[in-house]
Amino acid sequence: MSLSIEAAGETLWLLPDGAVWWPTARTLFAADLHLGKGAAFRAQGQAVPAGSSARTLARLEALVATHRATRLVVLGDFWHSAEGLTPALLESVDGFARRVPTVLVLGNHDRRIHPPGLPMEVVSTAWALGPLTAAHEPPPPGAAGFTLAGHWHPAVVIASRAGDRLRRPCFVRYPHALVLPAFGGLTGALTLRRADLARHSAQVAVLGDGDLHWLPLRR
């Protein structure tokens, strides 16, 4: 089940896959793919399974097809590191970007290593899309407008009455911004404290198994 929010006079849909759909502009947003992370670890002798980047691209392309999106905006950290930019990955991304019109807002992992010549539009700073702004780093509290961002890989801890604890990725909606979870398959996460989220008037939508749930926060 997807969840809708209203922001800057627009309706945005939070998707259980960790992406955002903006139907008015037929635009799909995703953040923090970290393509090539597995290859970078394998280059250092770490036993990391192959195929994560291919699965990430396949998931994105399936979402684009499902929603008939005319544009994909990646909110930074498309790539992980220079060691992961293998010829096979670059070929896959080239084909992906020829099929899916893609705009990359450069993230901190991308800025020094983004390879030239790929058929995608690249934006080096925060990018205005009508009433919304696309960025990598979330803006500070109280910033003007409404920004979609990534960078944090946000997650929250959910505890059961029996004392079990589960950390899950999440969307975080502030009055001024929406922070997306990391879309990539080999990304870490930043665990956010519920008290801090409540203090900043945040809403949290937790990713489940093909579902999304609003998380109650004590204020």
Domain residue ranges in the chain: 3-215
- Residue 11 has a pLDDT of 98
Q: Report pLDDT for 189.
A: 87
Provide the pLDDT for residue 111.
Answer: 95
Tokens (6 digits) for 54: 């291919």
> Apex CA 76: angle with CA 75 and CA 79, to 5°?
135
pLDDT tier, 49 (very low <50, low <70, confident <90, very high otherwise) = low
Measured CA to CA in angstroms, residue 211 lies from 14, 86, 139, 175 at distances of: 10, 34, 28, 23
What pLDDT does 37 receive?
82
Is residue 43 predicted with pLDDT exceeding 60? no
The 3-7 sheet, strands edge to edge: 3-7, 10-14, 20-22, 27-30, 71-74, 102-105, 121-123
The domain made up of 3-215 is a member of CATH 3.60.21: yes
Higher pLDDT, 218 or 131: 131
pLDDT at 216: 87
Indicate whether 17 pLDDT > 80. yes
Confidence of residue 3 (pLDDT cuts 50, 70, 90): very high
Q: Which of 77, 83, 6 is nearest to 42 (CA)?
A: 83
